[in-house]
Chain A
Amino acid sequence: MNQQLRLKIWSGVLIVGFFLLWEALCWLFNVSDIIVPKPSQVIVTLIQRAPALWPHTLQTLYTTIVGFGLGIVIGIALGVLIGSSRLAYAVAYPLLVGFASIPKVAVVPIFVLWFGAGTVPAVLTAMIMCIFPIVVNVATGLATTEPELEDVMRALRATKTDILWNVGLPRTMPFFFASLKVSVTLAFVGTVISETVASNRGIGNVMMIASSNFDVPLVFAGLMILAFLGVSLYAIFSLIEGRITGWAHRKDEFAMG
């Protein structure tokens, strides 16, 4: 426990140190605000513009969560479909990789063409960004279930659904949560890309306008907000992961609780 606390303290020191170093370098080399603003200045901007930034933050968060939620639902469904049989896994995998390798920025204009600028293309971009890691992880988790585990169930005359619920899905949970942590940050990327290209709301849009006005402190303030949101969601899913898939990490606290 002591060791863990020490690690946490060092992480905190590193983060604070990073900002202090940044601040110091700006002072030392007299860097212009238009190139890199000082962290102190960014924080001041954040506080001063909070009333204006707040609705955009909510918009980005909302878009990301809706896109992420849709991504989870579709990702699990596709993952179960592909992972449930070795044949489906082998047949569908190349197509999946093909889709995954399309740069997602490239599809934003298509979504805008179909649905117009605004929230819908942002939600859809966030969604397609996070689907792929979820599908691959769920499918791989299911497809690699030990045959002995299935034999035990099949000898009991368990149906396919029984095996999926009692063996396949629980076994896949660690893979699934690993993919969620990746996906949630990707969902933010998707939202911001789409907001930058085609929207008049959201942090992405704010940063776009701020940079064209050379309001660089505001651009950095936007970055800070995105980083904060990303880290928060990541932390939430890590927490849930720890509770649900503690068995995979063989945590003693999990075993006792």
Chain B
Amino acid sequence: MTTAIAEAPPRTEDTFIELENVTLTYGHGEKQTTALGLTNLRVNQGDFVALVGPSGCGKSTILKLVTGLIKASEGYVYVAGREVGATPVRVGMAFQNPTMLPWLTVRDNVMMPLKIVPPFRQEYRSKKNTEFRDRAEALLKEVGLANFGDKHPWQLSGGMLQRASLCRALIHEPQLLMLDEPFGALDQFTREELWAVMQELWMKLKPTVLLVTHDLKEAGYLATRICVMRARPGQIVDDAEVPFPRPRTIDMSYTPTFVSMTQRLRELIVSQRPVKETV
């Protein structure tokens, strides 16, 4: 089955992330696999874009391309108007696995980006026990971990670790926030709680967010735009605005318009599933 590839919205002054005719292939010759087919994507500054689609459709690949962790085989990736890597853009990242460093306290984990990223890096020694520490504590308090700064990661539950992971992704006030299924391993209630936390933080700090998720309700709750991808080759097949006002609530996700939106997305993804090859 072939479907039209979604058109990327036009380039404007607000365009922050731009993928121009990007493809990504692994390996050589016969064994070559295409992780990402010809892809165009534009994301405005301060936008919250969710990438949804079946496994192996290249959602995470897009995140890695935009952060410069991998290079496009063909095409160009621009961030903040220049090719990725050329400008120092502050990036925050959170994964499904909270990846806390077990030898540090939760607070020190949260402060790690300040130790690495300029301009904070230069001031880390002098401010780590004053300003930076207060900033970490304030952020931890905001996600409901007020008294857990001195704990070690293994003393926290999965949901708490994921909250701390969000703090770490945001402490250095990133312009770009990359979320790779950050709530994927959590139970439904914790997840919904964290959506609210995430929405609040985003509305306050306004970073540009790319969220990879399998959860359509999550995408609808958080994103301003949802891009649907298909697998083999990975491509964006649908790109739609989410019209609901903010702040959104869980109740909103049970309204008929919300339900019909997620239903449409679901059908789209199912119809894009690659046909099984017969042997």
Contacts and interface: CB of A to CB of B under 8 A. Distances in A.
B102 interface: yes
Interface stretch (A16-24, A57-65, A153-161, A205-213): A153-161
A158 B115 CA distance: 9
Contact of B101 (A157, A167, A255): A167
Given A149-B101, A170-B101, A158 B152 contact: no
A157 B102 contact: no
A97 to B, nearest CB: 30
B103 A156 contact: no
Contact of A154 (B69, B92, B95): B69
A154 B113 CA distance: 11
A33 interface: no
B97 interface: yes
B26 interface: no
Count chain A CB atoms within 10 A of each CB in B93, B101, B103, B151 and give the residue with the most.
B103
Nearest to A250: B154
Count chain B CB atoms within 10 A of each CB in A156, A158, A170, A255 and give the residue with the most.
A156
B93 A151 contact: yes
B117 A157 contact: yes
Contact of B95 (A148, A156, A245, A254): A148
Contacts, number: 58
Given A166-B116, A255-B151, A255-B155, A155 B99 contact: no
Interface class of chain B by DSSP: mixed
Interface residues of B, number: 24
Nearest to B155: A255
B67 interface: yes
A156 B168 CA distance: 11
Nearest to B153: A247
Contacts of A167: 101
B117 A171 contact: no
B69 A255 contact: no
Given A166-B112, A166-B115, A255-B151, A156 B101 contact: no
A36 interface: no
24 contacts: A146-B99, A148-B97, A151-B69, A151-B95, A152-B93, A152-B95, A152-B112, A153-B116, A155-B91, A155-B92, A155-B178, A156-B112, A157-B88, A157-B91, A157-B117, A162-B116, A167-B101, A170-B101, A170-B103, A247-B152, A247-B154, A248-B102, A248-B103, A255-B151
Closest 10 CB pairs of A and B: A247-B103, A155-B93, A156-B116, A158-B116, A148-B99, A155-B67, A170-B103, A255-B152, A247-B102, A155-B91
Interface of A: 146, 148-149, 151-158, 162, 166-167, 170-171, 173, 245, 247-248, 250, 254-255
Interface of B: 67, 69, 88, 91-93, 95, 97, 99, 101-103, 112-113, 115-117, 151-152, 154-155, 168, 172, 178
Given A154-B69, A171-B101, 14 more contacts: A146-B99, A148-B97, A148-B99, A151-B95, A152-B95, A155-B92, A155-B93, A156-B117, A157-B116, A166-B101, A167-B101, A170-B103, A247-B154, A255-B151
